[in-house]
Amino acid sequence: MLSSTEENYLKAIYNISERESGSVTTNNIAQVMQTKAASVTDMIKKLADKELVDYAKYRGVSLTEKGRGLATQLIRKHRLWETFLVDKLGFDWDEVHELAEELEHIRSDELINRLDQFLGQPKFDPHGDPIPNASGRFTIRQQTQLSDLKPGEKGEVVAVHHHDDALLRHLAEIGIELKTNLEVLELHAYDQSIQVRLGTGKVLQINPGLAQKLFIRRSN
């Protein structure tokens, strides 16, 4: 039985290792967990004792199979709760992350499987992130960063990277949400910004930072 804190560390390690290659460093975890390196070392030892991470002093950690499995289940719970909050309770997509951070620690397989059924076994959460199934398998989807599209290419917004509430609110404001269709009109060499036309006809300048955080499925 893991504490909520242990679960959060596992998830942090999982997320870091998804976006960076090699082993995960103490400082890296400290930053994500908003804590101090010394505290991370304490916790790493505990997780290593429980065989959830492989750990070599001064060399960082990586998840074991067991650790990765638990992290995946936690992500499943997080994303299912987010889906519940948006689809059933009518929250906006920028309001659900913190709540899901608490709800994900409710410990009951029965609960999460019933919730999954109730929601119609969704494959993606309100931010377009894939929801692993009960065996921990993710649905793979073809997607590209908006910043990689060439002028003339069209597509549909399928995910946003990631849980920055201000970003999500901004997107909603300028008219971008999941399933929004768009076409790249021009790339401006001067500031790397991208001009796009939305399905609604609205034309927008998207700055490069934002364009990296929007994931598109090409549609032609």
Partner DNA sequence: AAATAATTTTAGGTTGCCCTAAAAGCCTTA
Partner DNA sequence: TAAGGCTTTTAGGGCAACCTAAAATTATTT
List residues near Mn ion by CB under 5 A: 82, 97, 125, 127, 129, 163
Residue 93: Cβ-neighbour burial (10 angstroms; 0-12, 13-18, 19+): buried
Residue from 118, 134, 139, 175 that binds its own copies (CB under 8 A)? Answer: 118
Residue 62 touching DNA (CB under 7 A): no
116 vs 129, which CB is nearer to its own copies?
Answer: 116
Structure-token pair, residue 208: 């490069």
Residues 6+ apart with CB under 8 A from 142: 217, 218
Q: What are the backbone angles phi and psi of residue 195, rounded to the nearest 5°?
A: -95, 125
Closest among 140, 152, 129, 154 to 217, alpha carbons compared: 154
Of Mn ion, its own copies, DNA, none, which one sits near residue 127, judging by CB under 5 to 8 A according to partner kind? Mn ion
33 vs 99, which CB is nearer to DNA?
Answer: 33
Q: Which residue has the tokens 């929801």?
A: 131
Residues 6+ apart with CB under 8 A from 127: 82, 93, 159, 160, 162, 163, 168, 178
Residue 120: Cβ-neighbour burial (10 angstroms; 0-12, 13-18, 19+): exposed
33 vs 167, which CB is nearer to DNA?
Answer: 33
Residue 60 touching DNA (CB under 7 A): yes
91 vs 138, which CB is nearer to its own copies?
Answer: 91
CB of 21 to its own copies, least distance (A): 36
Q: Going along 66-169, which residue ranges are E strands? A: 144-145, 154-160
63 vs 74, which CB is nearer to Mn ion?
Answer: 74
Of DNA, its own copies, Mn ion, none, which one sits near residue 99, judging by CB under 5 to 8 A according to partner kind? its own copies
CB of 80 to its own copies, least distance (A): 12
6 vs 156, which CB is nearer to DNA?
Answer: 6
Q: Which stretch binds DNA (CB under 7 A): 12-20, 31-39, 122-130, 144-152?
A: 31-39
What does DSSP assign to residue 189? T
Q: Give the footprint of its own copies on this chain (CB under 8 A).
A: 85, 88-91, 95, 99, 102-103, 106-108, 110-111, 114-115, 118
Q: Give the footprint of DNA on this chain (CB under 7 A).
A: 3, 5-6, 25-28, 33-46, 55, 57-60
